[in-house]
Structure 1
Amino acid sequence: MNLSYWEIKTWLSNIDYTIVGSGIVGLNCALQLKEKFPKANILILEKGTLPQGASTKNAGFSCFGSLSEILDDLNTHTEQEVIELVKKRVHGLQLLRNTLGDKIIDYQQLGGYELFTKQDSDLFQECLSKKEDINNLLKPVFNAAVFSLKENIFRFKNIEENYIFNQFEGQIDTGKMMDALLQKALSKGIKILNNVSVTNFSEDANGVKIETNSFSFSSSKLLIATNGFASQLNILEVKPARAQVLITKPIKNLHIKGTFHLDKGYYYFRNIDDRVLFGGGRNLDFKTEETTELHQTAIIQNKLEELLKSTILPETPFEIDHRWSGIMGVGTQKKAIVKQLSTNVFCGVRLGGMGIAIGSLVGKELADLV
């Protein structure tokens, strides 16, 4: 790109902090840096027209893990590690709510429900047998029992007759959240450039030289907040994980309220604007879904439609209105990676599908590193 003097002077000169990614982590990081250093010149680079990863593409669950997810985590993490994971998610959600306000993000604590298919009866029995143990494990975090049993009040079919209910789970409007974060960042004088991909960077005595698909410039510090796309900047502990989603057209008198998990959280759905938003299914084909391509596949979309017909809306006609995908960042551990990569380069990535829960906190921790 052939930039003018004015463009270079106004947008690309004397940059103190460059943040890659304008999602939840990147925007929160920028806001925290601006609070610490009010005179700092902060620039966010975003490869998409809108945030490209999962921040504007998620289901809007304000959650910290269903019972079966927590039990699954205990297979690869210690009890203390699981408690710390849940604590971070709870604190991250509170930070998000404090930053923007419940009204702005349309936060509603309607509770979360975990459903079990008849084929998952063994898992359901295991969850029942461990429910009180997990309630005791999490009691220091919530000062109350988290999980209880509820009858099938929403008349789903082909599932166990009881749900496991989480009284602390909530939901938000993802679009409103991201719009509010973007507006807040802009109001503080933080600059955001869209459709700019970072292709390379190198350090010198003065800071970091950053190359993009359009121009090159220098910055004192570089902070990478690209989560699912982190491997493209050689952060190899993070693998992309695509999440496919669909949403129905409005359904009259839609009776579903709350957030819903199925199959260890690999499927999730909710009511938004009298529509069912339904996503997941990457466990059907993990390898294919380990991608940064924002496409859909027949195997997953067909399964989502099948579950809508057989389980979620068995007696209600519906039409699919729209389909999309988002890219999460996952790895061998659930703990996010927030670290210094070199003298002037830092990263906050691998949110493990919990971006709403921990994105604000990871952004703050990334800013605190600098």
Structure 2
Amino acid sequence: MAFSPAPATSLADARPDVFWTDRPELRPTPRSALTGHAGRADLVVVGGGFTGLWAAIQAKEDDPSRDVVLLEAGRLGVGASGRNGGFVSPSLTHGLAQGVAQWPDEIATLERLAAESFAGWQATLVEHRIDADFHLPGELTLALSEHQVSAVREAYDLHREHGKAVELLDAAGARSRVDSPLYRAGFLDPEVGLVDPARLVWGLAEAAEGLGVRLHEDTRVTGFDVDGAGVRVSTEWGSLRAGRVVVGTGAAPGVLRRFRAWVLPVYDHVLMTEPLSPAQLGSVGWEGREGLTDAGNQFHYYRRTLDDRVLFGGYDANYHFPGRIDPALEQEQGSHRLLARHFFEIFPQLEGVRFTHRWAGVIDTTSRFTPVFGTALGGRLAYAIGYTGLGVGSTRFGARVALDLVDGRETEATRLRMVREKPIPFPPEPIRYAAVRATRAALAAEDRTGRRGLWLKALDRLGVGFDS
């Protein structure tokens, strides 16, 4: 589809910062760093994002007497867990279609475990009184071109086949919910929620501390060594002996070299508008506050916040050679300008709205779009990484699996092929960079034409892809 230029003024005052964490009145007081040789803990959790926090909480729920220490390299909420769109999908498989394609024989079990984990996710928020603006308005997947209409219908049919209470919308039905001249069809998945991700991080951290977890920020882990029956965890400031270790570091440079084969760090860019006026809201509708996405390979995701801003992100998924992660890459002017143009093409009635924040986050992408699980150091360490943009809800399950693995428990979850089998590794550089560029070009071509080319068909046969 063709996009018209957006007013250049829309980004003029946008702060180069993450909206969710750019609220000093909400940010908690920093926790101290772990310094010196700090004794011993039963369990050390590395990474203070969603995976790490859920691992720490569930470990204490399993055994309140277990001494649990969580180490975060920076500040809680500064990484991917605090800068995403706040969409909470119960899916463990990056959507139903991906689950059916990868594990058709296990999909019923995967869907049941997903529902159980999501119920536990919500119960924890209630039990610990975590006010993270969680609400469950559902998600609309929208067709922005004629060939996306069939994709929407296929997705709807698949969900119905698996007993999902989804609703199919024609162009008029979609526009009656959210008004855009580009909408040609859509389907509503009522199971997807929305949350303020930074407040969720901070709330989970407070809940973990309430259970007795010791949290340390600004403590980068530099390595692990087998130490008798346990592990010596080295940090930039000292060390700590651990009985067991769980790692949930996302796309951050891995403390284990093996992570590089399975995870690509992909930059995803985001804009946040100023609060919309009643007249502007009236021109769009959107009274149900559904989360929105579109059916393209290069897709947008967008939502209303509870103070009536619009978060608008996605589309560009940028991989920088050779897997570079750098704060300087977060302010990619071309990606933010492209998002602004797309925003006003989708909502021309909002011309004149200004963006107050612009940022980016790094997504831990795998070749099958679902996490990598495993153990190291003779089973003393377990990890769960690679959620490919759908980790807000599924990290609770990932943390559960990692705990089961490190404690040597064979469970229904650890027997899953998704857990036991690794995804196909990405090739080494510079082949990796060339393959990503070729795949991005092929995905964009399919979005333009509706035809899946030979390159993508070959990847389909291998069961691999590139996504954010």
TM range (shorter): 0.7 to 0.9
SS of corresponding position for 2:252: helix
* Correspondence 1:115-130 to 2 at 5 A: 115-118=142-145, 121-129=146-154
Q: 1:276 to 1:177 in 2, by over 3 A?
A: same
Which residue number corresponds to residue 318 of structure 1? 353
Q: 1:188 to 1:88 in 2, by over 3 A?
A: same
Q: 1:78 to 1:88 in 2, by over 3 A?
A: same
Q: 1:358 to 1:133 in 2, by over 3 A?
A: closer
Return the match for 1:328 from 363, 383, 398.
Answer: 363
Return the match for 1:62 from 60, 83, 88.
Answer: 88
Which residue number corresponds to residue 134 of structure 2? 107
Which residue number corresponds to residue 146 of structure 1? 166
- Matched letter for residue 305 of structure 1: A
- Matched letter for residue 204 of structure 1: D
Return the match for 2:217 from 174, 186, 194.
Answer: 194
1:183 to partner: Cα distance: 0.6
Q: For 2:212 and 2:227, how far apart are their aligned partners in 1?
A: 27
Deviation per residue, 1:9-57 (Å, 9 max, x gap): 8xx2121111111111111111111122222221111011223431111
Which residue number corresponds to residue 304 of structure 2? 271
- Matched letter for residue 367 of structure 1: L
Q: For 1:230 and 1:95, how far apart are their aligned partners in 2?
A: 30
Q: Which runs of 4+ in 1 moved over 6 A?
A: none
Return the match for 2:68 from 17, 30, 42.
Answer: 42
Whether the 8 Å CA contact 1:249–1:275 is kept in 2: the answer is yes
* Structure 1 stretches lacking a partner, 5+ long: 1-5
Q: 1:347 to 1:241 in 2, by over 3 A?
A: same
Deviation per residue, 1:307-332 (Å, 9 max, x gap): 11111354442111112222221211
Return the match for 1:367 from 379, 395, 403.
Answer: 403
Q: For 1:304 and 1:39, how far apart are their aligned partners in 2?
A: 49
Return the match for 2:79 from 53, 58, 66.
Answer: 53
Q: For 1:215 and 1:208, how far apart are their aligned partners in 2?
A: 14
- Matched letter for residue 313 of structure 2: G
- Matched letter for residue 193 of structure 2: G
Percent identical: 21
| Matching of residue 155 in structure 1 with residue 187 in structure 2 | no
SS of corresponding position for 1:55: helix
| Matching of residue 351 in structure 1 with residue 381 in structure 2 | no
1:86 to partner: Cα distance: 4.6
Higher strand share goes to which structure?
Answer: 1
Relative to the length of structure 2, the TM-score reads 0.68
Which residue number corresponds to residue 3 of structure 1? none
Deviation per residue, 1:164-221 (Å, 9 max, x gap): 2222222122233222101111112211111111111111314212222222232222
How much is the aligned-residue C-alpha RMSD, in angstroms?
A: 2.7
Q: For 1:84 and 1:39, how far apart are their aligned partners in 2?
A: 32
Whether the 8 Å CA contact 2:265–2:323 is kept in 1: the answer is yes
1:290 to partner: Cα distance: 5.1
Aligned residues: 351
Q: 1:26 to 1:269 in 2, by over 3 A?
A: same
| Matching of residue 258 in structure 1 with residue 290 in structure 2 | yes
Q: Which moved more, 1:324-333 or 1:226-235?
A: 226-235
Q: For 1:103 and 1:214, how far apart are their aligned partners in 2?
A: 32
- Matched letter for residue 150 of structure 2: Q
Q: For 1:316 and 1:293, how far apart are their aligned partners in 2?
A: 33
Q: Which moved more, 1:168-177 or 1:217-226?
A: 168-177
Q: 1:86 to 1:357 in 2, by over 3 A?
A: farther
1:127 to partner: Cα distance: 2.9
Q: 1:326 to 1:85 in 2, by over 3 A?
A: farther
Whether the 8 Å CA contact 2:139–2:193 is kept in 1: the answer is yes
Whether the 8 Å CA contact 1:108–1:170 is kept in 2: the answer is yes
Q: For 1:276 and 1:289, how far apart are their aligned partners in 2?
A: 33
